[in-house]
Structures are given as structure tokens and as C-alpha cells.
A = this chain, B = another copy of it.
Amino acid sequence: MQLPGPTNIPDAVLRAIAEPTIDHRGEQFASILRSVLRDLRPLFGTVLPVAVFPGSGTGGWEAALVNTLSPGDRVLLLETGFFAAGWAEHARRLGLEVEVVETGWRGPADPGALRAALVADTGAEIKAVLVVHNETSTGTTSDIGALRAAIDEVGHEALLLVDAVSSLGSMPVRHDEWRADVTITASQKGLMLPPGLALLAVSDRARAAGESACLPRAYWDWVPMLDAAETGSTPYTPATNLIVGLRTALDRLAGEGLPAVFARHRRLADAVRAAAMHWELELVCADPAAMSDSVTAFLLPPDVPDPGVRRALLERFGVTFGGGLGRLAGRCLRVGHLGDIDEMMIVGALTALELGLPEFMPIRPGGVDAAIAALGGAKCC
């Protein structure tokens, strides 16, 4: 599987998940939960408590909104792709008014456009800015620091809500440094688990906003979930086995060391990009500075039938690639390079493309070779 997520799960993590379920009210689980909530913080780049809900990343979106906003509140969404658009729709369905800053789906969120939108908001009606750190549908990373600077520059009070679902654990997330108010992730990407957990870091300002926010909330109320860092217990039954698996996944990340984890993702992404460039395939992300280290999306030629390409790759090589989503449906091929993955696996995936794509489109042979060169080998001779 070479999806942008769910990612490959290490055997040790799968084994941990398959251990008999333990009592979620017992001391053993409390101790694991506390340790997990502590060790997640460096991944978020925060020293503050983190909340973990049973649910998907979409639940993380919902938790971020219902804990900080009131019905009818206006939010500003920087639309960088399918998932950003989905979050906008999610907010609308919760009764929020959503103003969308269109950035196209081929580049990162634009700090200038954000600044302009905030400047135009003379009535300070925008209560929150919503942005996807790493847009999985396009393979584009937005510069959250630059967006934060844009907000600061105009002195706007809006909260900054960040979807880091496909970046956290694979590239640096700096919740505190960015002064993000909520940073959201999910279990099935850089955390190398099956889907089933929504995780959030929350600023003090966001917690304070929650006190007056009045969207109905019960399941997604983060107060008791954030308290779990102390209490070791959750307000309702947690996804016990995933929490136990998360303990193992965090141990692996710590064993490798976060800087090494991030460097590995950068190196693998560079190799994929080198192959793409060699093959003369255009990426969805047109901005070289914003190309993602966790997922790469290739544009397919207009006449190439997808899902035919992906089906052929699956049948011939047993590899599942991601397809286009939303307005990119049928128009691109996405390669995940995040989680438990190494040089050899990424070269293997590129090999499937080099062997399989020519049936559908001309590519310049040698992309794998270019990837290997990018990985730093073949220096001699």
C-alpha cells in the first residue's frame, strides 16, 4: 500500500493493537494513557495538554469547531484542496458561516490573501481562520508560520485552527511556536496506526474561547479529555487498543528521533520528486517550495483513464496508489511517503510506476535511477 494514508503499520504496532483489551478504568490503562498524552506533545510542538477522542480526523474538525465557536459565527477557510473544502462544508453543516479564500488547488495557502481577507473584516466578524497544513489531496504544504505572521500583522483576533492530519509525525508541527489555537491530527498517518483516533492540541486562548462558545457539545467536549493527562481517565470508553498501539508507535518515533524521522520523510520526498521530474510528469503542486514531504500528487494526461491506471498498478504489482479527489477526481495519482517507510520501499513503489505507467502514457525511462541518485548513492565512478 502506497497510499497517502492509512499508512503502513509496523508489525510491532499491529501486535500491540491485538493484545487483549484491558480495563479502561484500571490503573494499567491510566498509566498508559497518561504516558501517551505526555509523549504526544513534542509531536504537536506543544507543552500543553493534548486531547485524544475515539473517532476519525473529521471528528477532530468537529471538536475544534464546537469547542470554540457559537452558532452563526463566521470563519475564514483557506481552500487549498479537497480536504480544506470538506472542512468548510463541515463547518457550514454545524451552522457556521464560512468565508472561503480560494487559492486554487495547485499551491499553498496564500498569506497575502489571508491578510487581505482579514483587513476587509472591519467588523471583526471572523472568529477563526481554518487552514490545512498539509493538503493530502494535492501534496501541498502551507507555511503556517507565514499565515500566523499575516494574522499578527493586521492584528486580527481570529483563532487559528490547523488541520495537521497528514503532516504530524512526518514533518515538523509547531503548535506553540505558530501560536496555533487548535492543531488537529488523526491516528492513521504519521502516527502509524489504523484509523480511529482524533487528536488535538489546544491553546490556552482556545480553551478560554470555549467557555463562552455555545455550539452544543457533549461527545466532543475537550475539557474532560484534556484533563485526562492528569486523571488518566476519559469521560467515556476510549478506543483502548488503539491507545495501547499508540504507546508502541510513539516509542518507535522516539527511538528513531524526531529530527531523523523528519529528515527521512524529506529524503524520500526528494527522491519521489526526482523521479517525477525525470519522467517529465507534472505535479499537482505547482510551487516547488510547497511540495509536501508526506504525499506527492502527479497530474495524469487528460486522455489517461483513471481509475484504470490505479487498477492496473494494483493488479500487476499489488500496490494501491491514491486517486484524485473532488475536482481532481480521475486527474491525478497520489503517492504517500509517510509513516513506516524507507528508501527501499519508496524505490519499490517508484518501480511499480516506472514499469506500469508506460502502458498508459509516455514517460522518460530512468526515473527510479534519478530517485536513487537523489537518495545520495551512486556517487562513485
A61 CA to B220 CA, complexed, in Å: 12
A172 CA to B61 CA, complexed, in Å: 37
A355 CB, min distance to chain B CBs, angstroms? 3
Cross-chain contact A373 with B365 (CB below 8 angstroms): yes
Q: Which of B53, B216, B368 interacts with A368 by CB under 8 Å?
A: B368
A79 CA to B351 CA, complexed, in Å: 39
Q: Which of B54, B57, B347, B366 interacts with A56 by CB under 8 Å?
A: B54
A366 CA to B372 CA, complexed, in Å: 9
Given contacts A20-B9, A196-B196, A344-B349, contact A56 B238 (CB under 8 A): yes
Q: Which of B239, B347, B378 interacts with A358 by CB under 8 Å?
A: B378
For A1, list chain B residues within 8 Å (CB): 20-23
Cross-chain contact A355 with B368 (CB below 8 angstroms): no
Q: Which of B56, B57, B376 interacts with A355 by CB under 8 Å?
A: B376
A318 CA to B10 CA, complexed, in Å: 14
A155 CB, min distance to chain B CBs, angstroms? 31
Q: Does A277 contact B (CB under 8 A)?
A: no
- Copies of this protein in the assembly total 4
Given contacts A94-B218, A349-B344, A355-B375, contact A241 B196 (CB under 8 A): yes
Cross-chain contact A195 with B239 (CB below 8 angstroms): yes
Given contacts A57-B236, A236-B57, contact A195 B71 (CB under 8 A): no
Given contacts A54-B54, A188-B237, A195-B24, contact A344 B351 (CB under 8 A): yes
Cross-chain contact B355 with A343 (CB below 8 angstroms): yes
Q: Does A39 contact B (CB under 8 A)?
A: no
With CB as the reference atom, state the residue of chain B lying closest to A378. Answer: B365
For A149, list chain B residues within 8 Å (CB): none
Given contacts A3-B23, A23-B3, contact A381 B365 (CB under 8 A): yes
**A residues adjacent to B (C-beta < 8 A):** 1, 3, 6, 8-9, 11, 14-15, 17-26, 53-59, 61-62, 66, 71, 90, 93-95, 186, 188, 194-196, 215-221, 235-242, 314, 317-320, 323, 342-345, 347-349, 351-352, 354-356, 358, 362-366, 368-369, 372-373, 375-381
Can you name 14 A-B pairs with beta carbons within 8 Å? A6-B237, A11-B19, A15-B15, A54-B196, A56-B237, A93-B221, A194-B239, A345-B348, A354-B377, A355-B378, A358-B377, A362-B380, A363-B381, A368-B368
